[in-house]
Structure 1
Amino acid sequence: MAIFNLIYLSCGVVGLLLLAYKIRALRSSWGSPRVVALIATVFFGSFAVLFAAPANVTWINWVSGVPNFAVLIVYGLVICFAGSAYALVLYWRYPAAEAWHRVRLIIVGYATVVAVTTVLFFKSEIDEERQTDFDTFYATQPTVAVYLFIYLVATGIGCGGQAYHCWQGARDEAISARPWLARGLRWYCVAALFPVAFAVIKLFVLMMDWFGERSFDVLSLAAPLMASLSMIPLVIAMALPVFGPRRPSPSLWVRRWRTYFALRPLHRALVHVNPGIVLVAPGKFLNPHHRVRRQIIELNDWRWALTPYFDLSVGEAATSLAHQASLPKDEVAAVVEAAQLRAAGSSGRSKPAKHRPASEIVDGTDLAAEHDRWVRISRAYQHSPIVDAAVADAARVGGMD
């Protein structure tokens, strides 16, 4: 029983948190049929799962004083969930006026189902409380059998309709052009398949019980657990269209970390120029976009601080050696810049050099180009023999002077 309580209560709490978030996020849109249908779907689904926990079943039966009253509550919530989920996807796929012609049939139909199942429940002889095996224990009682059949068929139709329309909607040309929305609809489809599978399994077990075959009753106990897990893809489905477009692609995330580690040696080599400007914002330590942005800002600041100490002879030597090596234009610029930074950063900077470079490298205006430029400089700073030779040559000449 403990595992049943854990799963049901956990999924129910997740649903309630999602409900609270949706109510807060959509409070300005109250009155919209889509919003009402969405809130109703999350509300009925969350409380159906929460009240299905054995601990809550015992409490509901005790408070009501009616044996198995929790069954009526939970099954009624599931029926309402199926109907509201079906209505929701119709509002998503069609204009409000067109969808309303179908939605009002759903409202009337599912309200009728709730009324009929309520009458059947109170007409049944179910005096013995059954917390986990109500369906199989009372399956052969005619009024309970009809009650269960109507409940399961209504659930299967509603959630099956949700799955169908979500899948078809994700393939619509207008929606497929918005990939995060299409992904969200596919996850809604997945979420709907859980209660559909639940209804199919329950119907199968119910029919087997009618024919006296009880060996499948264990499936009836597992089916509700599976249905409760639909809350997980439901949360994903609601989150993807909202948060997906705000998140960078995984490939960009990986590229940013690669840029960070490519720049890190140069960043550490120049940090002594002004360590006071190094900053990692709170909560951004594992954000590669923030870390690279700060690296670029700090490297540019240190570069301009070192500019007065750049020596023309270092730049000329690095340029000459780079041309002799037939390096591409971008690599020549990176080697020259790295040599200047190496020489200026290790010079002690007691006074500015007498000679400034004839031309200075201008920071790139494009973010990607700026990243690439600094990565080339960092690699040249670490590994280029031309940088080593140019700096060594300038030091030798300076020593002779």
Structure 2
Amino acid sequence: MAIFNLIYLSCGVVGLLLLAYKIRALRSSWGSPRVVALISTVFFSAFALLCAAPANIGWINRTSGVPNFAALLVYSLVVCFAGSAFALVLYWRYPAAQAWRRVRLIVVGYASIVAAMIVLFSESEVGEERQVDFDTFYATQPTIAVFLFIYLVATMIGCGGQAYHCWQGSCDEAISTRPWLRLGLRWYCAAALFPMMFAVIKLFVLLTNWAGEHGFDVLSTTAPLMASLSMIPLVIAMALPVFGPRRPSPSLWVRRWRTYFALRPLHRALVHVNPAIVLVAPGKHLNPHHRVRRQIIELNDWRWALTPYFDLNVGEAAASLAHEASLTKDEVAAVVEAAQLRVAGSSGGRAREPVRRPAAEIVDGTDLAAEHDRWVRISRAYQHSPIVDAAVAAVAARVDAAGGME
């Protein structure tokens, strides 16, 4: 009993939290048939799980004064869940007017099933309370047999329809450009498979009971645990389309950290130009996107500050050596920039009289990814390029020779 209580109550509480979130998030859209179907789906699933906990079954039976009334309540909630879930996916796949022509059949059909279940239950002899094995204990009583049969078939059809339409919807070309929505639909499909398999197993055990075989009764007792686990993919399915697009992909997160550490040596080498602009926003220390964005902003600011001190001789020497080494155009630009920054950022570069360069020489990236790549190339050349070392050394030697001649 303890494990049944734990699983049902835990999943039911998760369902209530999801219901509260959806009601709050969709309060501006109340009146929309799609929203009503969504809220109904979560409502019926959450309360079916809560009422199915053995601890609550006993309380419901005592409060109502009707033995096994909890079975009628829980099974009715499950049928309503299956019907609302089926209606929900139809509203997702079709325009509201077109979907309603099908949904009204579901509403009438599933309402009739619940009404029939109430009549059959009231006409049955179920005086002995059975909290866990109600199905197998009363399976051979004709009215309960029909009661269970229509309940299981309705659940199987509703959840099967949900799974089918969710999978078909995820394959539509219309959402091929919305991967989070496609993934969410597939999780909705997975959420429907749990109660559908539950209904299939229970129906199989019911049929074997009619045939006088009770060796599979244990499956009927444990099958509801499988159905309760559908709350997990249901929560994931509802969260993915909302939160998925707001979260960067893990691969992008890793790439941003790699960019951060690639830029860090150059950033540290130039921080003395204006350390006052270095900033990491509160709570963003572990956010690589923010850290890289700040690095790029600060590097560009320092580069503009150093531009008047760029030495054309250094740039020409670096470009010449880079061309001799058959470097690509981007690599040549990175080597020239790195050499200029190294000299301009040194005390010797700052000692010279600044010369304002034309704006055309000050290269700023316009595309974010291109800007990241450009600064990474500059940072690596600044640290490791022998061409930068040679160009800076050559110009320094030329300056020293000129000073000696004087």
For structure 1, which segment, 24-33 or 73-82, has the greater mean C-alpha deviation from structure 2 after superposition? Answer: 24-33
Residue 263 to residue 139, structure 1, CA distance change in 2 (3 Å): same
Q: Deviation string for 1:50-70 (max 9, x for gaps)?
A: 222223223323333333222
The aligned amino acid for 1:363 is D
Aligned mates of 1:382, 1:390 — CA distance in 2: 14
Give the superposition deviation at 1:369: 1.8
Question: What is aligned with 2:366?
Answer: 365
SS at match of 1:284: coil
CA contact (8 A) 2:308 2:354 kept: no
Name the structure 1 match of 2:86.
86
Letter in 2 for 1:115: A
Letter in 2 for 1:365: T
- CA spacing shift, 1:3–1:256, aligned 2, 3 Å: same
| Cα deviation, residue 156, structure 1 | 0.6
Structure 2 distance, partners of 1:352, 1:147, is 95
Deviation at 1:233, TM superposition (A): 1.6
Structure 1 position 295, deviation (Å) = 1.4
Structure 1 residues 356 and 28: CA distance shift in structure 2, 3 A = closer
- Report if the CA contact (8 A) 1:312-1:356 is conserved: no
Say which SS state the counterpart of residue 347 (structure 2) adopts: coil
Aligned to 1:323: 323
The equivalent of 2:161 in structure 1 is 161
Matches within 5 A, 1:123-142: 123-142=123-142
Contact 1:91 1:99 in 2 (8 A): yes
Root-mean-square deviation over aligned CA pairs: 2.4
CA-to-partner distance for each residue in 1:56-101, whole Å, 9 max, x for gaps? 2233233333332222221111010011111112222223222222
Report the Cα distance in structure 1 between the residues aligned to 2:306 and 2:186, rounded to whole angstroms: 55
CA drift of 1:355 comes to 5.7
Residue correspondences, number = 401
Cα separation, partners in 2 of 1:353 and 1:59, compared to 1, 3 Å: farther
Relative distance call for 1:213 and 1:34 in structure 2 (3 A) is same
> Could you say what secondary structure the match of 2:361 adopts?
coil
Give the whole-Å Cα distance in 2 for the aligned partners of 1:318 and 1:95: 64
| Alpha-carbon distance, 1:225 to partner | 1.2
Q: Which residue number corresponds to residue 277 of structure 1?
A: 277
Are the equivalent residues in 2 in contact too, given 1:41–1:84 (CA < 8 A)?
yes
Aligned to 1:11: 11
Cα distance change, pair 264–57 in 1 and its aligned pair in 2 (3 A) = farther
Moved more, 114-123 or 284-293: 284-293
One-letter code aligned to 1:124: S
Q: Distance in 2 between matches of 1:98 and 1:345?
A: 69
Aligned in 2, Cα 1:151/1:354: closer, same or farther, shift over 3 Å? Answer: closer
Percent identity among equivalent residues?
Answer: 82
1:177, CA displacement in angstroms?
5.0
Partner of 1:239: 239
Q: What CA distance in whole angstroms lies between the structure 1 residues aligned with 2:38 and 2:293?
A: 39
The alpha-carbon deviation at position 253 of structure 1 amounts to 3.6
Please give the residue correspondences for 1:67-82 in structure 2 after superposition, counting only pairs within 5 Å.
Answer: 67-82=67-82
| Partner amino acid, structure 2, of 1:53 | A
What is the Cα deviation at residue 395 of structure 1? Answer: 4.0
Classify 1:218/1:337 alpha carbon distance in 2 versus 1 (closer, same or farther; 3 Å): same
Equivalent residue for 1:392? 393
Cα 1:347–1:103 shift into 2, 3 Å? same
Give the match's secondary structure for 1:296.
helix
Separation in 2, partners of 1:304, 1:281: 23
CA shift digits 1:199-240 (9 cap, x unpaired): 000011111222222221221122111111111222222223
Tell me the distance in 2 between the aligned counterparts of 1:218 and 1:160.
24
> Which deviates the most, 39-48 or 268-277?
268-277
Q: What is the TM-score of this pair, normalised by structure 1?
A: 0.91
Contact 1:333 1:361 in 2 (8 A): no
SS in 2 for 1:131: coil
Partner SS state of residue 281, structure 1: coil
Q: Distance in 1 between matches of 2:89 and 2:219?
A: 30
What is the TM-score of this pair, normalised by structure 2? Answer: 0.90
The structure-2 alpha-carbon separation of the partners of 1:304 and 1:124, relative to structure 1 and needing over 3 Å to count, comes to same
Of the structure 1 ranges 167-176 and 210-219, higher mean CA displacement relative to structure 2 is found in 167-176
1:364 maps to a residue whose letter is G
Judge conservation of contact 1:270–1:302 (CA < 8 Å) in 2: yes
Q: 1:203 to 1:172 in 2, by over 3 A?
A: same
Give, in angstroms, the shift of residue 36 of structure 1.
Answer: 1.0
Hey, what's the Cα distance between the residues in 1 that align with 2:137 and 2:348? 88
Q: Could you give the per-residue CA deviations for residues 318-339 of structure 1, whole angstroms, max 9, x where no partner exists? A: 2232233232222122112112
After TM superposition, list the pairs within 5 Å mapping 1:199-348 onto structure 2.
199-347=199-347
1:139 Cα deviation after fit:
2.0
- Report the Cα distance in structure 1 between the residues aligned to 2:28 and 2:313, rounded to whole angstroms: 66
Amino acid at match of 1:375: V
| Contact persistence 2:344–2:350 (CA under 8 A) | no
Shift of 1:399: 5.0
Any gaps of 5 or more consecutive residues in structure 2? none
- CA distance in 1: counterparts of 2:162 and 2:213, whole angstroms: 32
Q: Is the 8 A contact 2:138 2:145 kept in 1?
A: yes
